[in-house]
Amino acid sequence: MKPIRKDEQEYIRNYIGNKFRDKRSALESEREIEVEKESQKNYKKFVSMLKIDSLKKQAEKLQREYLDFKTQKELIEEDKHRKLRDAVKKLEEHMTKWKNIRRWEDTPSFTSYNGTDIQLSNVESYITNVLQQETRKAYDNSSKGKAIKELDAQRESCENALYSGSSLGSVRGYIHNVLTKAEIQDAMPSNLMIENK
């Protein structure tokens, strides 16, 4: 048995990498399209489930009041601003609880670093972002999402075979079978990989 030469290993490793990268990219694109569609479809239901509507409406109302009174006396302006900060802080605290429970990546932040600038427009983008995370988790746990995990396992199997020390012919045959099972077109010419006897 003649072991696979180092340059042949490198070529096959790159070949495997490219094939699986292309397939994974296609599957991930499909996932993102479905995540976007499902996120849009489930937005209202998701917001309702979070039970933040009243907190959000209260913060929006207080923001409008704050902006209307900004030109008046400094005392009135500061009072309204304090109420708004408190409302937004409650909204952030509520969303932070959800973040910790659901293990979302991003921390909700609807105020500036010094706490004076209120950014309620960030609420919508934050909700959209975490809804997409939730939808992606659900997708990854579905039969469609399991295809990505299975693809990763098949790639690992091919790479393990490549470094197994087996003959070029048997490794090539194994990789061909795995690629076929993964429904990946195997374009490596088999006659170029035949061992010399």
Structure confidence at residue 169 (pLDDT): 86
d(CA 189, CA 191): 6
Number of neighbouring beta carbons within 10 Å of residue 20: 21
Structure confidence at residue 59 (pLDDT): 92
Domain contains 18: yes
The torsion angles phi and psi of 179, rounded to 5 degrees, stand at -60, -40
Domain contains 60: yes
Domain contains 167: yes
Domain contains 180: yes
Domain count, the chain: 1
HEC letters along 132-166 = HHHHHHHHHCCHHHHHHHHHHHHHHHHHHHHCCCC
Structure confidence at residue 65 (pLDDT): 85
Domain contains 50: yes
Structure confidence at residue 25 (pLDDT): 95
Tell me which residue has tokens 């790159």: 14
Domain contains 83: yes
Range of the domain at 177: 6-193
Tens-digit pLDDT profile for the chain (197 aa)?
Answer: 788 889 999 999 999 999 999 999 999 999 999 999 999 999 999 988 999 989 989 999 998 888 777 766 777 778 888 898 889 899 999 999 999 999 988 888 888 766 668 888 888 999 999 999 999 999 999 988 898 899 999 999 999 998 998 888 889 989 999 999 999 998 887 665 555 54
Structure confidence at residue 2 (pLDDT): 83
Structure confidence at residue 47 (pLDDT): 87
pTM for the whole thing? Answer: 0.56
Structure confidence at residue 69 (pLDDT): 74
Longest dimension (CA), the chain: 95
Domain contains 150: yes
Domain contains 1: no
Structure confidence at residue 168 (pLDDT): 87
